Amino acid sequence: MAYTRIEIALPNELKDKLKSLQHIHNTDENGLILKLIRNEIAVMDIKSQKETKEAYEIIEHMAKRVYEVAGKEALQMLAKNVQLLAIHIIEDTMSTSF
């Protein structure tokens, strides 16, 4: 595994708290920083998963609502419009990623 070296200048008033964290996590400064970064990345991943789930739930809820209010044909029209929008988003994303 390749590593990137980082240095952190910590204010002196946090020195005791750093030592406490090192003791709690049973690691040195480098191990502690790595552990804290990994924990933060895990939190970011969970947030991203939650946001993705919420987006799917919104789409599903609106599809059900369209069907309840306007019927099968309206739901099919919604599905076709969502498909066209998705294709447009994908094409735009792919054309700007190069």
pLDDT tens digits, one per residue of 10-50: 888 888 888 888 888 888 888 888 888 888 888 888 889 99
Tell me which H or E stretch contains 34.
Answer: helix 29-70
High-pLDDT (> 70) share of the chain, %: 98
Phi, psi of 56 (to 5 degrees): -60, -40
Using the predicted structure, report yes or no on whether residue 3 has a pLDDT greater than 80: no
Phi, psi of 7 (to 5 degrees): -125, 140
What pLDDT does 14 receive? 87
- The structure's pTM equals 0.56
Alpha carbon 4 to chain centroid, angstroms: 23
What pLDDT does 97 receive? 58
- Tell me the one-letter amino acid at 75: L
